[in-house]
């Protein structure tokens, strides 16, 4: 994940990036949806105007969210595994 400077957060959101913060093992995500900032974590989801978001989260440390790519399923390994005859 790439750390982003506070002054770059709004332009990153406008370019379609999803941002995240982490406090006390609580991860929170931020995305721009219909000219509002969607804030989402495991317990809640809400939207804020850009001005409200900037006022509330100006001191946060933001990271660009990069989803982990799931590993490819190996059809050969599946065929080998399911081809075993169990007695």
pTM comes to 0.74
41-61 per-position pLDDT tens digit: 999 999 999 999 999 998 899
Q: CA 47, CA 37: separation in Å to the nearest integer?
A: 5
The answer to whether 28 and 14 are in contact (CB under 8 A) is no
- Rounded-to-integer distance, Cα 36 and Cα 46, Å: 10
Contact yes or no for 40/29 (Cβ under 8 A): yes
DSSP H helices, 32-74, are 50-57
Identify the pLDDT of residue 52. 96
């Amino acid at each position: 994940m790439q750390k982003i400077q506070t002054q770059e957060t709004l332009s990153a959101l406008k370019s379609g990036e999803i941002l995240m913060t982490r406090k006390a093992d609580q991860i929170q995500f931020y995305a721009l949806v219909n000219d509002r900032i969607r804030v989402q974590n495991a317990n809640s989801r809400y939207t804020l105007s850009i001005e409200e978001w900037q006022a509330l989260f100006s001191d946060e440390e933001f990271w660009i969210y990069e989803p982990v790519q799931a590993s490819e399923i190996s059809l050969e390994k599946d065929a080998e595994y399911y081809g075993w005859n169990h007695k």
